[in-house]
Chain A
Amino acid sequence: MTDPFIQTANRLQTLTKVMSTKAQIAQTPKELVWALNKAKLYRYTPVVPAEKRHPVPLLLVFALMNRPYILDLRPGHSFVEFMVKQGYDVYLLDWGAPGPEDKKLKFDDYTLDYMPRAIRKMKAISGSEEFSLLGWCIGAILTSIYSALRPDDGLRNLILLTAPLDFSNKQGMTFSKWVDERYFDIDKVLAAFGNMPGEMIDYGAKALKPVENYVTNYLKLWDNLDDPRVVEAWHAMNTWVTDNVPLAGGAFRQLIVDLYRHDKLMKGELVIRGERVDLHNIRANLLTVIAEGDHITPPCQSEPIMAKVSSEDKEVFRVNGGHIGIMAGSGAAKLTWPHINHWLAARSR
Chain B
Amino acid sequence: MAEEAGKNNKPFDPMEPWRGMRDAYLDTWAKTMVEMVNSEAYSQATGAMLDTYLTVSAPFREAVEKAMLKTLEQLAMPTRNDVISIAERMTNIEMRLDDLDAKIDQLLARSAQSSKPAVGASTSAVRAPQPAARKKSRARTARKGRK
Contact surface of A with B, Cβ cutoff 8 Å: 34, 36-37, 99-101, 104, 112-113, 116-117, 120-121, 123-129, 150, 153-154, 174, 177-178, 180, 182-185, 188-189, 191-192, 207-212, 215-216, 219, 223, 273-275
Q: Does B7 contact A (CB under 8 A)?
A: no
Q: Decide: B43 and A178 in contact? CB cutoff 8 A.
A: yes
Q: Does B122 contact A (CB under 8 A)?
A: yes
For B132, what are the chain A residues with a Cβ–Cβ distance below 8 Å? 112, 273-275
For A123, what are the chain B residues with a Cβ–Cβ distance below 8 Å? 125-127
Chain B residue, CB-CB nearest to A108: B136
Q: A123-B125, A210-B30, A274-B132 are in contact. List 8 more A-B contacts (CB 8 A).
A: A113-B137, A116-B130, A174-B38, A178-B43, A182-B47, A183-B47, A192-B54, A216-B26
A-B pairs with CB below 8 Å: how many? Answer: 116
A192's partner among B29, B57, B91 (CB-CB below 8 A) is: B57
For A120, what are the chain B residues with a Cβ–Cβ distance below 8 Å? 102, 126-127, 129
Chain B residue, CB-CB nearest to A207: B37
Q: Does B110 contact A (CB under 8 A)?
A: no
Alpha-carbon distance between A36 and B96 when the two chains are bound, in angstroms: 10
Alpha-carbon distance between A273 and B133 when the two chains are bound, in angstroms: 9
- Interface of A, secondary structure class, is helix
For A34, what are the chain B residues with a Cβ–Cβ distance below 8 Å? 98
Residues 42-91 (chain B) with a chain A CB within 8 angstroms: 43-44, 46-48, 50-51, 54-55, 57-58, 61, 80, 83-84, 87-88, 90-91
Q: Decide: A174 and B37 in contact? CB cutoff 8 A.
A: yes
- Interface of B, secondary structure class, is helix
Q: Decide: B136 and A124 in contact? CB cutoff 8 A.
A: no
Chain B residue, CB-CB nearest to A192: B54
Q: Decide: B54 and A188 in contact? CB cutoff 8 A.
A: yes
Q: Decide: A178 and B126 in contact? CB cutoff 8 A.
A: no
Q: Decide: B50 and A184 in contact? CB cutoff 8 A.
A: yes
How near does chain A come to B93, taking the closest CB pair, in angstroms? 11
Given contacts A177-B43, A189-B54, contact A124 B125 (CB under 8 A): yes
Q: Does B19 contact A (CB under 8 A)?
A: yes
